[in-house]
Structure 1
Amino acid sequence: MGRRTFTKEFKREAAGLVVDQGYSIAEACRATGVGSTAMSRWVKQLQGEYGGVTPKAQALTPEQQRIQELEEQVRKLEREKSILKKATALLMSDDLKSSR
């Protein structure tokens, strides 16, 4: 049997049963049909996100999802800037050689 996959919305709602509504992990597992290992991981992640920690995995809360999107944009812009710096240096060195 293959591994089940869950949407970030489902994970957020399932973990929210514990974090927001006071269910025990066992009760939330029974209510959602999810194993305790996965539920514990989601609960820990959601608690961390509520505390302002941006997870390495796909974020569950809209705020942390936005932070991840913005961090990816920053990484992309940094890569583009690096490429432009190298291209500028190359063009300038070519100009110096041809002006001699």
Structure 2
Amino acid sequence: MSTQRYTPEFKAEAVRQVVERGYSVAEIAARLGVSTHSLYKWVSAVTPDKSEKQASELLEAKSEILRLRAQMRRLEEERDILK
């Protein structure tokens, strides 16, 4: 097991190449001379957990549903007044 330490800047650039530029983990790991395991750990440390992301999306969807229901009630009341 290697005890080599990498700077935060080095890790950030490696992760950026995978996440933003779309290179594969294996390709970047080989190019930079790091293990794929390390690079996967770095990527997972900066990307949100899927369940966390899903919870956030669910919360956004629920709040939008509530907003749309309130808007629908208001519009139905306006429609009923105009009848």
TM-score category (smaller protein): 0.5 to 0.7
Give the partner amino acid of 2:26: A
Aligned counterparts of 1:24 and 1:34: Cα–Cα separation in 2: 13
Alpha-carbon deviation of 1:45?
Answer: 1.2
CA distance in 1, matches of 2:2, 2:42: 20
Instruction: Tell me the amino acid that sits aligned with residue 22 of structure 1.
Output: G
Aligned 1:24-35 pairs, distance under 5 A: 24-35=24-35
Q: RMSD of aligned C-alpha atoms?
A: 2.0
Question: 1:86-97, aligned counterparts within 5 Å?
Answer: none
For 2:2 and 2:24, the matched residues in 1 are separated by 27
Q: Which residue of 2 aligns with 1:17?
A: 17
SS in structure 2 at match of 1:48 = coil
Q: Which residue of 2 aligns with 1:42?
A: 42
Cα drift, residue 46 of structure 1: 1.9
- Give, in angstroms, the shift of residue 48 of structure 1: 2.6
Q: Percent identity?
A: 37
Q: How many residues align?
A: 49
Q: TM-score, normalised by structure 1?
A: 0.45
Give the direction of change, closer, same or farther, for the CA distance of 1:37–1:2 in structure 2 (3 Å limit): closer
Residue 93 of structure 1: aligned partner: none
1:5 aligns with 2:5: yes
* Closer/same/farther in 2, CA of residues 3 and 16 from structure 1, 3 Å limit: same
